[in-house]
Amino acid sequence: MFTLVDPRSSTPHCDGVRRRNFLQVGALGGLSLGSLLQAEAAQGTGSNERSVVMIYLPGGPTQHETFDPKPDAPAEIRGSYRPISTKVPGVQFCELLPKLAAMADKFSIVRSLVGMVNRHESFHCYTGRPGGRNGDGEPAGGWPSFGSTVSYLLGPQRGAAPYVDAAPKMSHRPYNNLGVHDPPTTTSWPGYTGWAHTPLTLDGEIKDDLKLNGGNVTRLGQRRELLESLAAQQQRQHRQAGDDGLSLYRQQAWGMLTSSGMAEALDLSKEDPRVVERYGEGQATDPSFGGAPQSPQHFLRARRLIEAGVRCVTLAFGAWDWHSNREGTIEYLSRKYLPVFDHTLSVFLQDLDERGLLDRTAVVVWGEFGRTPRINAKGGRDHWPGTQSVLLAGGGIRGGRVIGQTDSIGGVPVERPVHLQEVFATLYHTLGIDVRNVKIPDLNGRPRYLVDDNRQPVAELF
């Protein structure tokens, strides 16, 4: 990885490099020539125009008040809200999701997810594996996230960063896409794909650097000279690591910096005001949750990033840890937050569909676990890794399907349990990546499959 530095800065590091808002171009993603050719030629994962948007619901959403209502269960199980019919005959959602119900033919629901763990962190959703604790079997450097793997295998396209985290910054650090665990343990970051494949994070200083801070051609030349002045040292480091493609990697990263596409994608003033109004403003969530706001504008930004050529966008929405020890009961929280979720997600999927992007953009919506079947004494639902409902759409995934079934109280699958890594295999499949054959070496040189236990894509979704 290399660094671009503003020569105007006046505060040097102890190593002589001046401090400012650095642009760690390695974080923009990139790919060595050797890795690219090996991935494409030996593993058949050539460049394509497909993308994935991973929407993380921090805190763990309730399956009962969303996509798996249990109207015949006792009141302490079914909750306060009735089911409603959807556009798919025989399929019902919670009455607080009428807009999603009306377009249920555009996406599918897995009601029987298994393989989650009881940890308040995003790591499992972004990597497909637990990490940070003894017994997790994590390799040196940690498991790479889905986006890091995609960046490593497919690299950038059309001058855009291959992997972008568009989530707002959250006060509960393990919710952020940083490999931070709950409780705090060894940070699993960036994974064995390396620092070059960490996401470009929008809630930070990189966004400003993408605009070049009002720089002109002369300043761009100065930056490039600074970049080249570091090349010899970086070349030595990368040769020691066996990377023969540093020159190509630098060219790709520089192209991202100077391309107007990324900066345009992040500038919502370039969007049709009617579209901005259609997405809406959303609302804040109670700070005590430590989660994300309900921000439709982040979804709009994600759509613009996909249009610009980003292969993987991660996004966080809302705060779902609904024990009723914060803000109110699950009845109150559902009534306040589910309508905004319903509006935002339905508009996003419709927007992708209307622009012809849904066919080539897979979307997954989930949290770190589900919620208990029984409502607790305070009027909330507690953590429940036994199962959860997951929404999947686009990228060749067929709509109108319900995969799996839970028992009469929504506690455990009784039909077609779907493992977490089957969902990851499905997402890789939508990008044209064959999980049966593709392997990436870890930091010890051991080849690692993208999913464990020979998990395969969910065939019922195609």
pLDDT tens sequence across 125-162:
999 999 999 999 999 889 999 999 999 999 998 889 99
Lowest mean pLDDT among 50-59, 223-232, 291-300, 384-393: 223-232
Residue 420 confidence (pLDDT) above 90: yes
Taking residue 171's Cβ as centre, other Cβ atoms within 10 Å add up to 12
Kindly state the average pLDDT of the residues 404-426: 98
Kindly state the average pLDDT of the residues 371-390: 98
Cα 56 to Cα 446: distance, rounded to the nearest angstrom: 30
Cα 312 to Cα 142: distance, rounded to the nearest angstrom: 19
Are the C-beta atoms of residues 154 and 97 closer than 8 Å to each other?
no
Residue 226 confidence (pLDDT) above 80: no
What is the model's pLDDT at position 454? 92
Largest Cα–Cα distance in the chain? 71
The correct answer on CATH 2.60.120 for the domain covering 32-207+284-461 is no
> If pLDDT is split at 50, 70 and 90, which confidence band does 360 have?
very high
Q: Which amino acid is at 41?
A: A
Kindly report the average pLDDT of the chain as a whole number. 84
Cα 419 to Cα 200: distance, rounded to the nearest angstrom: 29
Cα 110 to Cα 101: distance, rounded to the nearest angstrom: 15
Lowest mean pLDDT among 33-37, 189-193, 215-219, 421-425: 33-37
Q: Work out whether the CA dihedral 323, 329, 330, 333 comes out positive or negative.
A: negative
Helix 217-229 with 246-258: angle, nearest 10 deg? 160
Cα 131 to Cα 138: distance, rounded to the nearest angstrom: 6
Q: What is the DSSP letter of 154?
A: H
What is the model's pLDDT at position 442? 95
Between 368 and 13, the higher pLDDT residue: 368
What is the model's pLDDT at position 215? 45
Residue 178 confidence (pLDDT) above 90: yes
What is the model's pLDDT at position 257? 54
Taking residue 269's Cβ as centre, other Cβ atoms within 10 Å add up to 7
Kindly state the average pLDDT of the residues 94-119: 98
What residues form DSSP beta bridges with 384? 370
Kindly state the average pLDDT of the residues 276-293: 97
Residue 247 confidence (pLDDT) above 60: no
Residue 319 confidence (pLDDT) above 90: yes
What residues form DSSP beta bridges with 316? 56
What is the model's pLDDT at position 419? 98
Q: Work out whether the CA dihedral 367, 368, 374, 376 comes out positive or negative.
A: negative
Q: What percent of the chain has pLDDT over 90?
A: 71
Lowest mean pLDDT among 4-18, 134-148, 334-348, 371-385: 4-18
Between 155 and 237, the higher pLDDT residue: 155
Cα 112 to Cα 93: distance, rounded to the nearest angstrom: 15
Query: At residue 18, what are phi and psi to the nearest 5 degrees?
Result: -80, 140
Residue 9 confidence (pLDDT) above 70: no
What is the model's pLDDT at position 229? 52
Kindly state the average pLDDT of the residues 298-310: 96
Q: Give Cβ neighbours of residue 362 (< 8 Å, ≥ 6 apart).
A: 50, 51, 52, 53, 392, 393, 394, 395, 396, 397, 426, 427, 430, 431
The alpha carbon torsion through 328, 333, 336, 339 (nearest 10 deg) reads 180
> If pLDDT is split at 50, 70 and 90, which confidence band does 30 have?
very low
What is the model's pLDDT at position 262? 79
Kindly state the average pLDDT of the residues 269-279: 95
Kindly state the average pLDDT of the residues 367-394: 98
Task: Give the CA distances from residue 63 to residues 57, 322, 336, in Å, rounded to whole numbers and listed in that order.
Answer: 12, 12, 16
